[in-house]
A and B are shown apart, each in its own frame.
Chain A
Amino acid sequence: MISSFLQIAFAAICCWVLFITIDMIWALPREGGVVGAKAIAAAVEKTGGDLRGGTMMGNIVSSPDASAGTLLAACGVYCFGIPGGLIATVLVYIGNRICYDPGYAGTTGCFLATFMVYLGTQIGIPAEFFIIGMVIAILTIQGISHRHSSRLLGAIWRIRR
């Protein structure tokens, strides 16, 4: 039981690092992709958060980004192995186009996460732990304190820039 929780924690850290890295490479904090993302950024800034971090949170809400890609890749590998992850990549690409997102963060994230989750299953961490790991990772960004998580994202964005 304890080793299960350690494996979940390890999977959560892997997912967190992967999706933050890919979102930063695709410059999600630079500007809101749609008007709704900008409105969420403004609401987060009003409570004392960082505008750049809020913009990234708005973009995550408004379109499937690398975090959604990682979750769906883990689901795909859990259900159907590597082909499942590639099916998920196609679905995320379609989702990006439906949501008027000009970027490819979700597609890239899903494709890379497929191989990360597959490697994880090879070293003994089951794919289902990557699913809950990604849910925990998104909880730390979107679900605990918008003020602190937006400041953290803003600080990472300033390092990247």
Chain B
Amino acid sequence: MEDSEMSIDGTEDLLGLISGPFSSSYISPPSESAELAALMCGLIALYAVIRIILEQDVMRKLPFLNVFSFAVSGIMALLIPHPLGIIAAATYFIGSTFESNAIASTWAGGVEE
């Protein structure tokens, strides 16, 4: 645990030397509770992927894909505690929803007239 904290401190020093989003004063290493939440999100994402692989019906794969997108956008926000993190998570989530929408509509026979 101490080793990992030391390496995080070292990385911070390194990032402080270069300019960019990660040297912003807004960002700080994720707290312990955020790491617990990210770990649980990761386990749920893994479970969702296994269910997607095992499911035979393409239409019924999509709700599991939805769970996967929730977990991944949660992880993105948890690991980037920066105002831009919310934009990254929201854009990823909306994009993946739009893709699911497109897959479902195409598979079901195209856009309604």
Dominant secondary structure at the B interface: helix
Is residue A119 within 8 Å, beta carbon to beta carbon, of the partner chain? no
Interface size on A, residues (CB 8 A): 53
Interface of A is mostly: helix
- Selected from A35, A60, A91, A100, the residue in CB contact (under 8 A) with B66 is A60
A36, B97: Cβ atoms closer than 8 Å: no
Are the C-beta atoms of B86 and A61 separated by less than 8 Å?
no
- B106: which A residues are within 8 A, CB to CB? 36
CB atoms of A34 and B105 under 8 A apart: yes
Min CB–CB distance B2 → chain A (angstroms): 20
- Chain A residues with Cβ below 8 Å from B82 are 79
A111 to B63, CA, bound (A): 24
**Residue interface mask A91-135, B partner, CB < 8 A = 1:** 110110011100000000000000000000000001011011011
Q: Is the CB of A138 within 8 A of B66?
A: yes
Question: How many residues of chain B are within 8 Å of chain A by beta carbon?
Answer: 53
Q: Which of A43, A98, A143 contacts B47 (CB 8 A)?
A: A143
Nearest CB in chain A to that of B57: its residue: A43
What is the bound-complex CA distance between A39 and B110, given in angstroms?
A: 11
Give the CA-CA distance A150 to B83 in the complex, in Å: 36
Query: Are the CB atoms of A84 and B111 closer together than 8 Å?
Result: no
Q: Which residues from chain A contact B83 at a C-beta distance below 8 Å?
A: 79-80, 84, 87
Interface residues of chain B, those whose CB is within 8 Å of chain A, are 31, 33-34, 36-37, 40-41, 44, 47-48, 51, 57, 59-60, 62-67, 70-71, 73-74, 77-78, 80-83, 85-87, 89-91, 93-94, 97-98, 100-112
Q: Which residues of A contact B (CB under 8 A)?
A: 4, 8, 34-40, 42-44, 47, 57-58, 60-64, 67-68, 71-72, 74-76, 78-80, 84, 87-88, 91-92, 94-95, 98-100, 126, 128-129, 131-132, 134-136, 138-139, 142-143, 146
